[in-house]
A and B are shown apart, each in its own frame.
Chain A
């Protein structure tokens, strides 16, 4: 079953912050985050593993709450280059070697 992402779409002004959420109905082992720009391949951002860790690089970070079976991606002081579609991919405990991706969140950053 696909994880649920919210919001489906968001428009920001440059410099604003955004949060994208990813929720699963099943126990999660790991969560991946990817960004896809229009016409390009999805690009890996980060992985979070069971243990409730938080990760980040530059102004993009993420958290993983295994009890709530959800992850959140935080984009701070957004830049035009952050525009694209963000996907979370989840691996469930006992679900084998595969990720199931959400339907994506379209993010557009404007001047």
Chain B
């Protein structure tokens, strides 16, 4: 069975600090996909990134970067120079290749960025 663990329940930082959100996953499949979603207070989940299991290259998008390490089954998310607008709950999710895009989510990490 697949599982996603986000051990950090809540993180508080001051604006402009860098912050890393951890994600550890479990799956028996060799082909799978990992995702990060952001959920602001409005409730709507916003897609951030999708990564397949064969692509271990790190990715950077503006202030966001992702570190995928198959050896440790981790897919961590770093926000550089955090801003108040980054305050939200962030979810890591896993989809197995045979799962028709259905997602298994972690419990989420609430990020609070104060001015």
A and B bind: no
B residues contacting A by CB (< 8 A) are none
A residues contacting B by CB (< 8 A) are none
